[in-house]
Structure 1
Amino acid sequence: MTEISRDNPLLFFGCGNMGRAMLDGWIAAGIDPAAFIVVDPMAQALPEGVRHFADASMAGSKARIALVAVKPQVFPQISNELTDIVAGDAIVISVMAGVRVETLRSALPGRKIVRLMPNLAASLGKSPLGLFEPDGDAQLRAGIEKCLAPLGTPVWINEEVLMDAVTALAGSGPAFVYRFIDALAKAGESLGLNPAVSATLAKATVDGAVDLAIASDASPEELARRVTSPGGTTAAGLEVLDGGLQQLIDATLKAARDRGVDLSKPIEQ
């Protein structure tokens, strides 16, 4: 049931930035655009062949697999529309931060629920894919992994409460990395580098460092040590950076995690 095809289309209920990244990733992997139906009044310039409806009532037959990618705050108001366009035994994959399985089951009784937290790198097939499925259904999990394989690396989480941490690290994390790249570039500018040159150097530095970290068996801590000569330039910089970096990142992820917890409360009350 989790194989996406023209005859078994995946329904996007909402297709903003995250939904669009996933859609682009699937299509880039060679899946027929006609295998996707988008219900979103705001979606624009969708890939040719994708079936698009502004209103749920126009979508026609009920989908057997649906991906819910609307803002969590609006889900209670629009969940009835979703109920009308997904089959009673459908698989529903939610990428909504903070919306618990209990809430999804209450709004969509009888459906198989999977929570997913990807990030925008899904468009490149390089997203971490944090997943939670409450029933331990091995067959369903295998099907979901196959379905999501073009988008990145699936990682199953055993406790739903930890999905808020996954959201903070893997979902919000790219924004934190982009901020760091921007800060590196601006710091280079402050030392006299041309803005374009500094931006290029910052992006290339992070790109190479990440690729090496992924390819290496060594930990990031060990890789940093290998770059650092005692008394050298890197050691001087790390002396400043290490003075507060871990505390700052801890506080950053905690704030993002706590917001995910907060998002669940108005929905479940």
Structure 2
Amino acid sequence: MADSTRTTAPFSLDAYLERIGWEGARRPDAATLGGVQLAHLRAVPFENLDALGGRAPSLDLADLTAKLVHGRRRGGYCYEHNTLFAAALEALGVRVTRLTARVVLGADRFEDRPRTHMALLAELPGDPRPYLVDVGFGALGSLLAPVPLVADTEFHDAGRRHRLVHAPQRGPLETWVLQAYAADGWQAQYAFTVEPFEPADYEVINWHVATNPRSPFSRRPYVQRLAPDAHLLLDGDRLTVTHTADGTVTERKLSDEAEARRVLAEEFGIDAPEGLTLLGD
């Protein structure tokens, strides 16, 4: 399992904001929170190539900065994205609570899914409402903007529709469910409670998700990028492009390893590590 120690290297907000292309205000307010979240999503792709290569990615902030900020031609999955994003928000003066969630998309029973997703709760000075924020959910129903922690209210975020609802309570804490609107109605994305989790908790979850042979992230490439006009997804050998303007979808199968590497480089801005087999046999 990954070492849970942390370096004390300072976090560079300047380098992070340059990486995501944010030139706006640096205030702990709703406009900055939303702007930085969307800029991050458009700049840094979601990918699981470390896990596909058989190792859990480091969650050390210095390592994340080297890979996602200075590396520029790599991305990461939820623990990497949201650990980095949390550090940026805290540097901006935002109070952050780190959460875990059950990914329930397609599940018949929420309790059958373990807590394997990292999300964040952001609190702004002078604003009584906390916000659910998330730059690391690898799905078409992911949040593109902060959503106030308010039940049964629809929010439109950069072209997508979301709402939070309560699930039947099974313990002392309320369970919140993030839903996204799709062609066939509202779909549950993930369920969470708001108690805080610590870095050591994510080390365990990260190791499990990256190295368990039954984890989809350890078996096939799963990569997504949010472009201004489309959502791109590479799932195994299947490239899917969902166009923002009209929702039309184009899909094709990649022919071989060389094409997979070329698509990652040209469409997702990712240089796959040398020696990594992307498509398997």
- Is TM-score (shorter-chain normalized) higher than 0.5? no
Higher helix share: 1
Scaled by the length of structure 1, what TM-score is found? 0.25
Scaled by the length of structure 2, what TM-score is found? 0.24
Q: Compare relative contact order (CA 8 Å, sep 6+) and give the higher one, 1 or 2.
A: 2
Over alpha carbons, which structure has the higher Rg? 1
